[in-house]
Structure 1
Amino acid sequence: MLKILPNTAANVVALCASGRVDASDYENVLLPAIQAVLAEHQKVRVLYILGADFERFTAGAMREDMKLGLGHLTAWEKVAVVTDISWVADATNLFRFAMPCPVKVFPTKELDLAEGWIAS
């Protein structure tokens, strides 16, 4: 499940993943949030928190993630991923070269640093 978090800057989409994230989460939660920011700003920043209760992405979610990224290739300004899940951190670090913007991974205890980085 994806949940958009309140109280962020107008050009930031902050979200938290828990349990199983599937394609409908991208279609019904994340994509509308990204589109709302892009209606007002040229670029979007993303703060993506994957907590201890996150279980997995479905194949459909991974497909939607790729479609979202490629479909808005020039829209990304920064992405911060906050997690203590090693495979998520490793995969993010491995594939961040494919993103046309800075991507940083932060451990959960550094959420404040991630929030500061995404806002700066």
Structure 2
Amino acid sequence: MVELLENFPSYVVAYKASGIVDADEYKKIVMKRVDEVAQKYDAINLIVRLETGMQNYTLNALLDYLKISFKHIRRWNRMAIVSDQKTVRLFYDALSPLVPGKVQGFTLDDYDKAAAWVSEPFLTDENRMNSPKP
């Protein structure tokens, strides 16, 4: 199940994944929100609260995850991956030098820290965006 998280700045895509995540739900909720933010901003911040394992994403949901990630590859600014699965956090930490912006893994206990970090202003040295598109 996927649900958007509230109380984030408008340039942040924030969602929680729990249980089984299927492609239809991922498209209707996450991909739609990413595209909405991309229409307004040149850069996108993302926080994912994983209360499920990546193994609970259906194959098509994982493919959609990759699709939306590559569609906006130059626009990622800050990505916070919040999970108690150490391998997930380590994977995303290792990914950080390979993509624009910053990627950082956090534990579920550090969710508030992750939310504050992803809500910070854009990384102007790593991304061209300072304000919404006109």
Unaligned runs of 5+ in 1: none
Structure 2 CA distance for aligned equivalents of residues 5 and 76 of structure 1? 18
1:11-90 residue pairs with structure 2 within 5 A?
A: 11-51=11-51, 54-55=52-53, 56-90=56-90
Amino acid at match of 1:106: F
Q: Which moved more, 1:8-17 or 1:95-104?
A: 95-104
Q: Is the 8 A contact 2:12 2:47 kept in 1?
A: yes
Residues 57-116 of structure 1: per-residue CA shift (max 9 Å, x gap):
121111111111111111211100111123322332344444322100011111111111
Number of the residue aligned with 1:93:
93
Q: Is the 8 A contact 2:46 2:79 kept in 1?
A: yes
Higher relative strand content: 1
RMSD: 1.5
Give the aligned length: 118
Using the aligned pairs only, state the percent identity: 25
Amino acid at match of 2:82: V
Structure 1 CA distance for aligned equivalents of residues 49 and 27 of structure 2? 18
Larger Rg computed on CA atoms: 2
TM-score (norm 1): 0.88
Alignment partner of 1:20: what SS?
coil
Number of the residue aligned with 1:114:
114
Number of the residue aligned with 2:123:
none
Number of the residue aligned with 2:104:
104
User: Cα offset for 1:118?
Assistant: 0.7
TM-score (norm 2): 0.79
